[in-house]
Every structure is written in structure tokens, then in C-alpha cells.
Structure 1
């Protein structure tokens, strides 16, 4: 009798194992297929949600000014954001196109005459002598210099072409994300309630608190990192354009990228300052140097003003997030990586501060659910 019961229980166990394996396998296949389908939309939707959270306070203010028209307020902000993205891109692209067109025209004419370096170039620390020799070679014998440095020139052109292609793709991604953000902002209440419900379901009684922390972190990082980088690039870039620095648009974009990656803007500004001192008089060059250095250090004043409301993210966290995001998702990853890593940092710190809770801390709903599941 016991032997028959044991065989019966063993058969039931095997049947349950096989059935569970089939269910888990089918669920795994469904998850993989679903991920492959939604993979192209993950980054723009995620970035759109982040933008919506950051702009929601501004949307509500604009909504009140428009007599409660939330959809119109969200649309205006999205169109304004697209304009702010497209206009600098057009300016930078126009600057690059003009430079390339002029260079091509000069090369076709065959009358290429580069000005030689001044003795001040050789006095630049560390790189002065090498820079002077390379510059002198290009100014005296361009054909020989091109042949000597042909592999380096090809590599630089290929990298530059790749950067332009990535920038255009990122611009399109930003536009799509802004349109998605407008949709999220227009239906903010429903989206917020859904996020809070999911958070409570996943985290428990602290879910709503964590959802609010995520929103505060997003606003803090976007204002304190992306906002500061944008303002700083405008300040430094205006000096580049006013003093007629070649490729000013591209250098301004580089300052913006450095700012998001939490790298000093002076890394871009100092070589430009050295160039301006080599080609202009002392007085305008000194004014330019002071302007660029002060603008490059402006983040030390702007970050405490814009980095928000008790959320303090260490700079290494932002740096690793920005660099890792850029490696993973290109230029848009600079923004996305910094925000996501900052969110995880804040959530981890909050989790560490939570006290351990016992059975008496379980909510009434959790108790009821536990009792129902035990029946």
C-alpha cells in the first residue's frame, strides 16, 4: 500500500515538474519575443518618460496659463524642445559644411597656403615643439605632410563621419522622445497612478515614496547636469563664435558633451586659448582667455543652484553613467546613462537607510493577502 502511494506521489511530482518546465519555457520564449519586438522602442520611450517627469512642473504652470489645456501645454513644450535641438544642430552642421566646402574649393584650386606657426606655439608646455614641427611642415610642404600623415588623416575623417552619422541619429531619437514625452505629459495623472501602483506592487509599502524619489532624482540630474552643461556650452561657445575660432560650432558641441560627461570644459578651452594667442594680438587673446576660463568654471556656481532639493549625486556616479551610456547607446546615452545610474544610486542609498521590519510592520492589505493565499 505504501509502495503504491509512493509511486503515485512520484508520478504526480514528475507530472508537475514537466508541466512547470513547459510553462516556464513558454513564458521564457514569450518574454524573449516580446523583448525583440519592443527593443527598438525602449530607449526613446524611457527617455521620453524621463523628459516628461523633468518638464511636468513647467507643463502644469503653462497649463494654468492656458486655462487648463494640458494637451496644448505639452505640445508647446515639445515643439519648443525640438526647436532648441534642431536650431543648434543646423548651425553646427552649417559651420561644418562651410568649412568642408571651403577646404575642398581651396584644394581643387591648388593654391593652398597655410600660415606658418609663430614662435609662441613652440612655447606651449608639453606639446609646443611637436605642434610647431607639424604645423611648419604643413605650411611649407602640404603635399609631403599629407603623404606623411595620411593614415592619421584617414582615421580622423572616418571618425568624424561616424560622429556626424551618430549625431543625426541621436537628433531623430531626441525628437521622437520629445513627442513621446508630450503624450506622457498630456496624460500625466493616469501615467503617475499606474507607476505608483506598479511601484507599490514591486517594492511594497515604500513604493510610492520610491516613485517620488525617482522623479526628484530625474529633475535634479537633468537640471544639475544637462542644464548646466547646456548653459556652460552657450557661454563658452559664444566666445568661440565672437572671436572667429575655426569650427566654433563643433567645439561648442564638444564642450556640451564634456559637460554632460562631467569633464572640465577647460580641456576644450585651453588648446583653443593657445591657438588664439598664436594668431591674435595680446589684448583680444587675453579677453578671450578670461572669458573662456570663467565660463568653463561656471559649473561650480550653477550646479549648487540647479542640483535640486536634497538630492546629491556624486560626480563619479554621473561620470560612469554618462560614459557607459555613451558606449551603449551613443550620444543619447550620455543623458540616459547619467540619469539611470543616479536613480539606482539614490534607490540603493534609500534602501540601506530603511529599517528592518518584522511581522508587526506588515500592512493590513498584506496580512489579508497572506491569509487568503494560505486558505
Structure 2
């Protein structure tokens, strides 16, 4: 029988919970705080250029992040069923179904759903194509403007033609936001927003890179939970201050050689979105056998490079080069580099029923990564928020067999 090992939680988690609770509480009263008053509210996709909205004093909230919250609270399945009863297919993204379900039945939703109605919807397809139809549905429900940023898929490197195409859309978005808000863009404020984003991103990158040490100070649940500010509070001083706090705690663990997983024996890389409704239970199957997920592709998606220079051009480059907008070769090389840099013994890919752009090419990536690194990879079929498709026993058996292959445990 495998030896049971302890998992070390982060003290910063309590501060994070308070900060995110405050964020959602203030979101509900966004029109009554800040200067000037009557701040517009935008629902925005996770890969959209939030810095531009903040420069217009628009308050952003993220339905995808809310979907993750519903997943962790294990209410997504009920909300998905509400959306399905209204005609939305079960094959659609569970974040979209969860969010639409929360609009139709706020009594079933955490916090009564997101603050509504939004004044504006902002959508970018650099991470997902489903968001286009999701946000079109929201625009019909609330009869509010929808701004769409189209980032062409990058089979290779970013070309000047593609950059100019996206930059032109940013320039048009500025025009639209000036018309909708009655305010002119303050380019200095936009530059300051980008500078704060860059600081938070740099800190998040440093925190993740601490996990190259052995034992790793963080495990996958830490990475998934503490990525919240880099998504929802990107561009704010709150995010910068929080990641400074978290960096100090993680650095202290490294100095004291405290591992997130007691008796770390196996180092793994995770690919795809977290299984939110099993955020601790799933990874316990690994940690109790001394296996730690030292890095991942998902929370690393917000380690973005914001080039210096013109703010709009910088954003056009950054938001087009998001890793899910890149080729299978790029993603395979990313995994290979992570395995080498973090000295990983294997990797686990979540074949996520909801997120097809993330999942459909995983088998191609898995074969190449194993061929070039020599480490094995496990594919686990589940969903990020809808627990109806999760089968505990088959997954547990596959995990156990995989760990025996990797480390003889």
C-alpha cells in the first residue's frame, strides 16, 4: 500500500480569498465607487485586453472565472442543466452553460450570479472560438453592445500583416469605447495599466520558476488557485501587491526546503484547465504517492510578454501570441521545454470535453513530447466544470498504473 503523504497549503490563500471576495462585492456596486462615479460594467473574456478597458475606467468581470468558481462549489452541473433545458447543447463549453444557467436561475448560482446587466461585452477569440457565440447570446439577452477582437490563428511566427490587422482593430476599439463612455483615451493611463500588468506578470513568472527547485514549493492546486489575480485583476496594483506577498512566502519555502508535497518523489507537468470540482481530490491521488505537479501550461498562459513601445501595438502583439492561438508544434515545444526545465518525470493531459481548442490535438502533442523527452504521458478524460462526465474509479485506476510506470510506486 502506498505511503500517505501530507500536502502543505499556502498561508497566502486566506488573503487571496478575502481579496477575491472583495472584488466580487465591489463589482456588485461598481457604479457607486471609484472616480468618476457611474463606472460602466463589462463582461470580458479571459484573453481580452483588459488594460484598455481599465484605462477607460470600465470595471471588468470574467464569466470564465465565475464558471471556475461554480465548478469548485460543485453547482455547475445544475446550472448546465438549466441552460440545456433552455436549448443550449450539452456539447457546448461548460463555462458558457454554467454562466447562462446562472442568468436564467440566479437562485441556484453562487453570489446570485455575476452583477448584471452589463453595460458592455468584450470578446477576444485568441483562446477559444466558442466565446463568440456565447457573447452573441449574451448581447441578445441583455441588448448591450458587443466588441469583438479577432486574432488570426498563428501557424508559425507573428507576421507584420497579422500585427497590423489586429492593431487596426485595437484602434477601432478605442473609437468605440470613446463613443460608448463619452471619454477620451488617456494614453498615459493605458501605459500605466500595462506597466502594472507587466509587474504582476513578472512576479507570477518568478513564482512559477521557484518550482524548478526540488522539492517544489508549489503543486498544481496552488498554481490554479493563485492564478486568479493575474486573470481577474491584471492591470491593478492589487495584483502586484498580492504577488509580492505570495513570492515572499514561496521563496521562504525554497530557502527552508519545504515542498508542497511531503516526500516528493515524482515531478509532473499538467496540461489543460483544472478539474475544478475535484481541485483537491483529483490531485490527492498523486500527492499521496509523492507525485507533485511542478508546473503546467494553463496557469502559465498568463506569463505574457508585453513589449515596450506604443501601448496599442504592444497589446496587438501580446494578445495575438497567446499560446492557445499557436500551432501544435509550438505547444509541443512548450511542453518539451517545461519537462526539461523543471526536471519532470512525466506529464498528465486533461482531455477536457468542454475546451476543444485545448484538447483536440493533445494526442499529437503527447506522442511527440514522449518521443523527444523519453518521459511518459497520461491522458485523463473529464471536464473542467461539469462533473457529470467525471468517472472516479476508471481515472483512479489509470492514475495508479501511470505512477507505477513513472516511479515504481
Structure-2-length-normalised TM-score? 0.24
Q: Which has the higher helix share?
A: 1
Structure with the bigger percentage of strand: 2
Q: TM-score, normalised by structure 1?
A: 0.26
Structure index of larger Rg = 1
Q: Which structure is higher in RCO with an 8 Å CA cutoff and minimum separation 6?
A: 2
